[in-house]
Amino acid sequence: MKKYVFIYGCIFMIATACQKSTVNADEPNRPVTVTDSLILKGDTLTYEVITNDPAGWYGMWNEPDGSVHCNPLDSIYFGGPEYYSSGWKLSFVCPDKPFQAFISAATKLYDKNITVNLYKNNKLIKTSTNDSGPGLGVAKLLVDVKTDTLTGTATDPVLTYEVLLNEEDTAKFEADGWIGQWNMPDGKVSDLERPLLTNFAIPSGWKYTFKPTHLPFIMYLGGTPYIPGGATMTINFYVNSTLVKSQSSRNYIYENRFEVQ
């Protein structure tokens, strides 16, 4: 079942990518001033999305509990996303646990300008505008938060997924991004209830650290560069900070599992 859901998401992503050839490059990026980006426990973080697309935008982002959310579908099984308006913001307190501030957003037809911002205590610390090129309506950012207080043992382990990209083919759309799905702490696949998640590019360096709710636990992460062949993707699994499995490919990686006893 997991494989079929992942394949469906990839097919949908490739189909929508075909709409991305029409661009508007006549609007300059918005100038910004970026301040100190060191994020500490208790800081208030805010995501912001700005776009000139009157239809709005859709995307995915990390919540403070580490879960990934996206705009909801307008029906249970079918239908498009609920597009959000320019100026959307989401604020939360930085958690005292492993966390990455992450957002990836796109305009409706990928042909308008879009900017994603990250604020710390109401001050801008990172921004990205049209990161695939002028007028190509996708923007994403990722910032590590150094508040990791988790420690693991043999009977209460800390598990980490990591995805790295290199050898990027800049001729490919979103060459510095990947898509995929992974097992959550309860063992369920991340996107079975949120099918849009397979369509948004996640930057290199993404990590997800957690304690499983039960043992044995099957670590699982399947994925691909956003466009197959666009980069070499490496998936690493760690148990208590020790690398236990690594797999690389320029194409799809399926059935990538490791059992923690």
pLDDT single digits (tens) 181-236: 999 999 999 876 667 777 899 999 999 999 999 999 999 999 999 999 999 999 99
pLDDT single digits (tens) 92-125: 999 888 889 999 999 999 889 999 999 999 999 9
Question: What pLDDT score was predicted for residue 199?
Answer: 83
Q: Is the same domain home to 53 and 99?
A: yes
20 vs 9: CA distance, rounded Å: 17
Last residue of a domain, one of 91, 113, 145: 145
Number of domains in the chain: 2
Q: Is the same domain home to 75 and 169?
A: no
pLDDT single digits (tens) 32-69: 455 567 898 889 999 999 999 999 999 999 998 888 89
pLDDT single digits (tens) 150-172: 899 999 999 999 999 999 998 89
Q: Is the same domain home to 112 and 179?
A: no
Q: Is the same domain home to 94 and 160?
A: no
Range of the domain at 201: 150-260
Question: What pLDDT score was predicted for residue 5?
Answer: 42
Q: Is the same domain home to 22 and 132?
A: yes
Question: Does a structural domain hold residue 1?
Answer: no
Q: Is the same domain home to 59 and 120?
A: yes
Question: Does a structural domain hold residue 236?
Answer: yes
Q: Is the same domain home to 140 and 204?
A: no
User: Are 198 and 252 a contacting pair, CB within 8 Å?
Assistant: no
Burial 183-215 (b: 16+ CB within 10 A, else e): bbbeeebbbeebebbbbbbbbbebbbbbebeee
Question: Does a structural domain hold residue 42?
Answer: yes
pLDDT single digits (tens) 63-91: 988 888 999 887 666 678 899 999 999 99
22 vs 25: CA distance, rounded Å: 10
